[in-house]
Structure 1
Amino acid sequence: MTPIFFEGRFGWLHLPPTGATTAAPPLGVVLCAAFAQEEMCTHYGLMILADRLAARGMPTLRFDYGGTGDSADGEVTLASLRADVVRAVACLRQESGAGAVALCGLRLGSAVAAAAAAEIEGVVGVAMLAPIVTGQAFLRETRAAASVSSLANLDPVPKLDSDRPLNTNGFLWSAALQRDIATIDLTAIPPPAPHMLLAPGRPDRKLPPFAASLRAQGTAVTEVPFVDYDAYMQDPTTHEVPAATFAAVETWLAALPHAETVAAAPVSVAPVLTLDGCEEIPLRFGSGNAVFGMLCRPTGHAAPVAALLLHEGSSHHIGDGRAYVALARRLAQAGIASLRMDLTGMGDSPAGANMRSPYFDPERLTEVFAGIDLLERHGYPKVVAFGLCSGADAAWNAGLADERVVGIFIINLQKFLWNYGDDLRVIARNSKRTLRSYARSMRNPAEWRRALSGKGDLLGIARVLAKRGLSQGFHAVKGLMPPAPGSEPAIVREQLRMLAARDVETLLIFSDEDPGLGEMGRHFGRNARRLKPPARVVTMTRADHHFNGRDVRRRYQAMIETAMADLVARHRADG
């Protein structure tokens, strides 16, 4: 697969194996992604699907809509999404020689694909995975899920007639976009293509009449169950690639008629995205070039210290709500380069034959070192390692092992010492929010409705909080004595002494309700009073675990820009 920028949009071109020949122009496939958090959940899977289709001789393009992912910033509207699909088809034809094309859309992407098909010549089929037939139903579902999330305590779901954006896991849906989505009604448009595949993820009373209407108008409709939908539409730490449904999609696409040749409209293609004050370069590196990263560097003079951005398990290299895209471009404006990267098995870095979980995996530290090597080759000999949660673990361990790391700026580190193989589901269950967080949630009516309906794990919450209280009391007493040699507290304190001896600036950032604060307290006392410079702890008030709230994200980025500027100035002065 080859990274590509076309008219400010970032994409991946998956071409058939070298030497593969066909008697006619091949059928091309454009994958139209889901939106916001649903795209994060399904991103890795669409890479696998694109590889499968290319292996069957179908050149395939997957891409980020404008204003999303690694694409250029901009307002997202229904019209812009449709226009991006049109651009993507033109790019695929230009770069691969494909003639007829099929569109394959997932969730909101299915509705966008169906609407865009009318504007594209030579669309022979549209596959709609977990399709959205009416935008109003989709919007109700999205807003309802947002209203019971912990983020709703920080960014309440606005009323439909409000001009305020909806925040879902850090992704902002403008009021205009919500109004746009509410107008979607696929039953009111002509058949998008002569062949349609419908793979419903869940029962939808609108779907049977939609399928019947398509058939009545002469469309060949194939219906297959999306049997593995629920396992796929999960947080990336636990989701499963829907192999059965993807096999059905692959078989259907391969059987589509595609003899015609369609001229490709010219599209501007570039290997680099040039933005105001910076440029972004997609790079493959590491063993077998399996690791992907996006280098963001200033167009002018750059500091010798760069940022290495390691994401958490629930996202890929763009970060939740594009947090790392925004941070990277902001740092570049200040003259600081960065690399945001995916470990293998995450985002755009395929796992290959490696069946180990990529989360908290010490063996994947070699990939982090490969990222540091890449930055050094591009002229950045010193690095500040960033990370959140599992990414914080990778950044912490990279900083301990590699002397090129001069700073460790991490958010919500859960444990200093991690035992690989611990079940992530058990960890999640034992990492319930703090008592302060639950007290804050009591002011949210949606949380009360969720608890009283039986959907809240009240017994689990009580059990974990009681266990945590006993543990904190035990460690408070134990902390009055020097740690035993070889014990976890002794090891952690020695790690901090080693970093201090190297003058590594260590910034441990926590949301005020994160259970990781308990880990700090166990090792360094209440309010981390035993922690010594150059290490320091910053607690962010009114902050969720992922820093998805709009206010805390603004405060965090401003703090990081200042901290990076100070660190760069110090290292410039030191030569």
Structure 2
Amino acid sequence: MLVDRTDPAAVTTLSAQPVLLGDLFGWFTPGSSGRGVLLCGTFGIEQLNAYRAWGRLAARIAGAGCPTLRFDYAGEGDSGEHAGPDRVTEALAAIDRGIRFLRAEAGAEEIVLVGLRLGATLAARAAEAGGVDRLVLLAPFVSGQAYLREMTLQARLIDRLPDGTPLPQEPGALSLGGFQLDPATIAALGALDLATTARAPAPEILLLGPKTAALADRYRTLGAAVTTGAFPELAPLVSDPLFAPYPERTFEAVCAFAAAGAAPSPAPCRRPAPAGTLAGTGWRESVQAFGSGLVGVLCRPETRQPGTPTVIVVNSGLNARSGYGRQTTALARRLAATGIASLRFDPRGIGDSADRDDDRSPFYAPDAVTDVRAALDHLAEVQDGPVVILGTCSGAYLAFNALCADERLRAAVLVNLYCFDLKPGTDIETMVRDTFRHGQGYLARARQRGSWQRILSGEIRLAQVAGAIRRDGSALLGRCIARLSRLVLVGESTGRRVARLRRRGARIAMVYSADDPGLATLRAHLGASTRVGRRLGYPVALLDGADHNLSRPADHDRLLTIVQEVAHDAARADRAGAAPARLRAVPAREPNGLLLRPSETLP
């Protein structure tokens, strides 16, 4: 059961309780009025970026007295899988289900819909059926075609291979940030157009964002009272996964509009039954609350066996526990189908967990190791068997340091690790932005004819290029300094920490996209000789053709193979009381093969 704070002045995301709407996962927060508010998020990477702010908005509205529900669409977050004719039809049905939940389970007599981006478009279309009293549209797309045009452009800019070229798209589909729209969904989006509506979706509408004048005029013509305004924080909210500020001004206006004039409920707000177990083929999931306000999802095999290995998955960046492109949720369920349990959870300051005490960013926070320890303490109460930890990028940094700090962890799978340690006072934002400019920046793109044409035409300023090259040079210099520092700094070097891990029987499987910037760190600290595999316990796996976030399904399969091997090795070692066997490499010619440095495979 989640922690419940009954003081309205102290409402946080922890005041919510998890609920299930069929196979949809959601969070419900009670309120004192009879006006229920349903938050309709957008799709894919935009919603992942906005996830924590969206939860804080729900808590804020509930704190103003309105019972509030937010949920994950099918195929996103912690909900069940997409199984309908298309995701538009499913999403409209989910919004209708949420409205019925607020009326039947929470006793709401009035309904407010709050939609973000594509979620705003869908909320407006769902409200046309009637029964919605107020409607908040945050930067809606007037048509599904407009949404598709913008997402297609973003896909070309965001999803790139190490050589700077865009990730290939499947015919008829659209992939962006690891999330994919299938052909049926694209067709359904193409038919979505708010400009053709024949009735106002609600009597009162708050419409915030750019290019909304025509839609506002349309709704006014149909008899609605429409208030318009700007949404200055829109771009960072939906596009910056690491450093976006909370949209205080806009969300204050949303909360005021949603709660304005709401009358107190004559009866106490009913609390629906908390979420039970969400199940699918081979897996069963339940929400876990533990430690100091930590929230996670435990995914178990359908049939539990004694000694089942468990994988703790820590967040990459500030992504919520479902992961980039929802990879973590998908991986957890695939692991469960092979007999491996997992706990995906949000450290403090991420996703649905509590804020950090120091109010600092949790990104590359060394003290997040205490949250991993709390997860291990919790697993000791609900699970048996060995525990392995998995992390990508900044999550790999946390996973490595947790492995060093807690002997209950038997092994770690570290994906695209950039650094083993950080110097105190490191400017994280500068480090991250400079690192990935180097990996996919101007120097890497300069070989492409189109980049030079843009420079010559003035579209890219030479000062921009010079600045990027200077930053790339600084990043390279920083790696050289890091290599030297392991020889002169007082304290235990990375090599010695790894050796200590091996002596206690723990091992590390490191996975890299070919040409990932983190490979320089690996070579600087552990060398590039035949000894690397021996020092880690597993060979270093290089995934040819993979991007930094492992966005492609083929790369998901490769990672699944590695995690399965490490987890089963840990279970075998646990039963035998010996060190785990080495990871078996799949020949590179096979579809799911691991491209390994031959010199680094273990004898």
TM-score above 0.5: yes
Please state if 1:279 is matched with 2:284.
Answer: yes
Residues 1:85 and 2:90 aligned together: no
Distance 2:388 2:235 in 1: 38
Deviation at 1:560, TM superposition (A): 2.1
1:432–1:464 CA contact under 8 A, matched in 2: no
Aligned 8 A contact 1:124 1:256 in 2? no
Partner residue, 2:507: 505
Change (3 A) 1:462 1:307: same
Alignment of 1:94 with 2:99, yes or no, is: no
Deviation at 1:233, TM superposition (A): 2.7
Once the 2 structures are TM-superposed, how far is the Cα of residue 438 of structure 1 from its aligned partner? 7.2
Q: Give the SS at the match of 2:142.
A: coil
Aligned CA distance change for structure 1 residues 465 and 498 (closer, same or farther; 3 Å): same
1:19-75 Cα shifts (integer Å, max 9, x gaps): x4x5xxx10000000111100111111111111111111000000011111100124
The aligned residue for residue 140 of structure 1 is 149
Contact 2:61 2:68 in 1 (8 A): yes
Alpha-carbon separation, structure 2, partners of 1:241 and 1:125:
24
Aligned mates of 1:110, 1:444 — CA distance in 2: 39
Contact kept? 1:154, 1:542, Cα under 8 Å: no
- Contact persistence 1:148–1:450 (CA under 8 A): no
Q: Which amino acid aligns with 2:24?
A: R
The answer for the alignment partner of 2:115 in structure 1 is 105
Which range moves more in the overlay, 383-392 or 426-435?
426-435
Map 1:192-231; keep pairs closer than 5 Å: 192-200=201-209, 202=210, 204=211, 207-231=212-236
Unaligned 5+ residue runs, structure 2? 1-15, 267-271, 579-603
* Partner-residue secondary structure (3-state), 2:390: strand
Deviates more, 1:457-466 or 1:406-415: 457-466
| Alignment match of 1:36 (pick from 37, 41, 44) | 44
Does residue 414 in structure 1 map to residue 418 in structure 2? yes
Q: Would you say the 8 A contact 2:441–2:468 is kept in 1?
A: no
Q: Which residue of 2 aligns with 1:301?
A: 304
Alpha-carbon spacing, 1:518–1:298, altered in 2? closer, same or farther (3 Å): same
Query: Using a 3 Å threshold, how does the CA distance of structure 1 residues 68 and 350 change in structure 2: closer, same or farther?
Result: same
Residues 244-263 of structure 1 aligned to structure 2 (within 5 Å): 244-255=249-260
Matched, 1:340 2:352: no
Counterpart CA distance in 2 for 1:514 and 1:306 is: 28
- Structure 1 residue 325, shift from structure 2 partner: 0.6
What is the distance in 2 between the residues matched to 1:256 and 1:184? Answer: 33
What is the deviation of 1:574? 2.5
For 1:374, which of 372, 378, 400 is the aligned residue? 378
C-alpha spacing 1:463/1:115, structure 2 compared with 1 (3 Å): same
CA RMSD of aligned residues (A): 2.8
Alpha-carbon offset, residue 198 of structure 1 = 0.1
CA contact (8 A) 2:363 2:394 kept: yes
2:460 is aligned to 454
Please name the residue that 2:546 is paired with.
543
How far 1:554 sits from its partner (Å)? 2.3
Matches within 5 A, 1:16-31: 16=31, 20=32, 22=33, 26-31=34-39
Distance (whole Å) between structure 2 residues aligned to residue 447 and residue 107 of structure 1: 31
How big is the shift at 1:380? 2.7
Give 3-state SS (helix, strand or coil) of 2:540's partner.
strand
Q: Name the residue aligned to 1:264.
A: none
2:387 is aligned to 383
Mapping for residues 397-412 of structure 1, pairs under 5 Å: 397-412=401-416
Residues 276 and 551 of structure 1, relative CA distance in 2, 3 Å threshold = closer
Match of 1:9 among 18, 24, 40: 24
Report the CA distance between 1:571 and its aligned residue: 2.2
Within the alignment, does 1:570 sit opposite 2:578 as a pair?
Answer: no
The correspondence for 1:128, drawn from 137, 156, 166, is 137
Give 1:218's aligned amino acid: G
Letter in 1 for 2:97: R
Separation in 1 of the partners of 2:146 and 2:452?
A: 24
CA contact (8 A) 1:521 1:528 kept: no
SS at match of 2:460: coil
CA distance in 1, matches of 2:449, 2:174: 18
8 Å contact 1:118–1:192 — kept in the other structure? yes
The aligned counterpart of 2:582 is none
Q: CA deviation at 1:328?
A: 0.4
Distance 1:234 1:470 in 2: 30
In the alignment, which residue of structure 2 is the partner of 1:116? 126
| Alpha-carbon distance in structure 1 between the residues aligned to 2:448 and 2:487 | 45
Per the TM alignment, residue 6 of structure 1 is displaced from its structure 2 partner at its CA by: 1.5
Partner of 1:155: 167
Judge conservation of contact 1:143–1:157 (CA < 8 Å) in 2.
no
Query: Aligned partners of 1:448 and 1:268: how far apart in 2?
Result: 61
**Structure 1 residue ranges without an equivalent (≥5):** 262-266
One-letter amino acid of the counterpart of residue 218, structure 2: S
What is the identity, as a one-letter code, of the residue corresponding to 2:466?
L
**Of residues 44, 65, 78 in structure 2, which corresponds to 1:57?**
65
Counterpart code for 2:208: A
SS of the equivalent of 2:205 reads strand
> TM-score normalised to the size of structure 1?
0.88
Amino acid at match of 2:181: W
Q: Secondary structure at the match of 1:431?
A: helix
Identity %: 32
